[in-house]
């Protein structure tokens, strides 16, 4: 998994697949794939990512880079790397 600890929280590198049947987070080897139910129109995928990940981690989430790409870097504010790894493995 590509998780980097920073002073503000953790940076999570993910690959997003839009138009899936259900929202899911898949952790395979060194890659994190998020399946979004939304279509990539008007930032709907990004809004779903922020909403669902904020709910999962209980803290604010923001997109650091890749807002128009399938590969994104997300900042999970106030979350420790060990907590991110634990929650992703339980998905």
Q: What is the pLDDT of residues 47-73, one digit of tens each?
A: 999 999 999 999 999 999 999 999 999
Q: Measured between alpha carbons, how far is 13 from 31 in angstroms, rounded to an integer?
A: 8
In this prediction, residue 29 carries a pLDDT of 76
pLDDT at 28 over 90: no
Q: Is the pLDDT of residue 91 over 80?
A: no
pLDDT score recorded for residue 30? 82
* pLDDT confidence of residue 1: 58
Write out the CATH class of domain 3-77.
Answer: alpha beta
Question: Is residue 74 predicted with pLDDT exceeding 80?
Answer: yes
Q: Do 20 and 35 form a contact (C-beta atoms < 8 A)? A: yes
Note the pTM of the prediction, 2 decimals: 0.90
């Amino acid at each position: 998994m590509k998780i980097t600890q920073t002073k503000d929280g953790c940076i999570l590198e993910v690959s997003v697949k839009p138009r899936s049947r259900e929202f899911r987070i898949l952790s395979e080897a060194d890659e994190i794939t998020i399946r979004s139910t939304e279509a990539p129109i008007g930032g709907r995928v990004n809004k779903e990512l922020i909403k669902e990940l904020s709910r999962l981690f209980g803290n604010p989430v923001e997109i650091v880079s890749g807002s128009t790409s399938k590969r994104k870097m997300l900042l999970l504010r106030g979350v420790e790397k060990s907590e991110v790894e634990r929650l992703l493995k339980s998905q």
